[in-house]
Amino acid sequence: MSDQPQYRRILLKLSGEALMGEADYGIDPKVIGRLADEIIAVRKADVEVGVVIGGGNIFRGEGLAASGMDRVTGDHMGMLATVMNALAMADAIEKRGGYARVMSAIQIHDVAEDFIRRRAIRHIEKGRIALFAAGTGNPFFTTDSAAALRAVEIGADLLLKATKVDGVYTADPARHPDATRYDELSYDEVIQRNLKVMDTAAIALCRDHDMPLRIYDMTVPGNLMRIMRGEPVGTLVRN
């Protein structure tokens, strides 16, 4: 382990729920502020950063469809929710002196740039934190799949999934107190054991493109930087 970051470029996936804090809806300014501080700290340590934000704190297509809405319309609302979260994160980052750009997978020119891969890479090379909004731009996908896709597209050395648990367990630790945490797993093991790490499309994309993934607890301040220094926080999934 060293004080120098072990990664050159990362893609961080934050779920919408990560922004809610203790609330059951929306964005907690304190929580988003702390996450922005952590992202800026990593950027200052010379790591290039792309971020994919979910929208589950506002809308999910599946949930809307369950209450009677057309699924595609619900997914469009879910994607727009991720745009709102990305705008809020960009604002929090810039209020703290960082530089951020929101790039959307659906065209929404008055509020965000389009996601164009070469431009995205240019932003991150220039030290800006690129926030990739609207998931993949397609219904029936999730922001986990978008995170895997963007990680591969921008050539990240590591995909990080920030959650409220400290890694992947043999079973749900909330319901099975004897569940144990994996330090490391292969993608094939994740698929064979049907472990709920990310959706299958995201896992398959990471496996096929050799993208390592670390699942960690974002509620512990400083964890992101610990991972950058090479500390074995959470669970690592790789081929």
Stretch that binds ligand UDP, among 135-143, 157-165, 205-213, 216-224 (CB under 6 A): 135-143
Nearest CB to ligand UDP, comparing residues 28 and 232:
28
Q: Which of 143, 163, 223, 235 binds ligand UDP (CB under 6 A)?
A: 143
Residue 54 contacts ligand UDP per CB under 6 A: yes
How many other CB atoms are found less than 10 A from the CB of residue 228?
A: 22
Long-range contacts for 230-236 (Cβ within 8 Å, ≥24 apart)? 230/1, 230/2, 230/6, 231/1, 232/183, 233/166, 234/166, 234/167, 235/167, 235/168, 235/181, 235/182, 235/183, 235/184, 235/185, 236/183, 236/184, 236/185, 236/212
Nearest CB to ligand UDP, comparing residues 62 and 153:
62
Burial class from Cβ neighbours inside 10 Å (0-12, 13-18, 19+) for residue 76 reads middle
- Which residues in 161-190 contact ligand UDP (CB under 6 A)? none
Residue 141 contacts ligand UDP per CB under 6 A: yes
Q: Which of 146, 224, 225, 228 binds ligand UDP (CB under 6 A)?
A: 146
139 is in an annotated binding site: yes
Q: What does DSSP assign to residue 168?
A: E
Nearest CB to ligand UDP, comparing residues 56 and 167:
56
User: Tokens 């054991």 appear where?
Assistant: 193
Residue 79 contacts ligand UDP per CB under 6 A: yes
Residue 112 contacts ligand UDP per CB under 6 A: no
CB of 218 to ligand UDP, least distance (A): 12
DSSP assignment of 177-203 equals TT--EESEEEHHHHHHTT--SS-HHHH
CB of 83 to ligand UDP, least distance (A): 10
Sites of contact with ligand UDP (CB under 6 A): 15-17, 54-56, 60-62, 74-75, 78-79, 81-82, 135-136, 138-139, 141-146
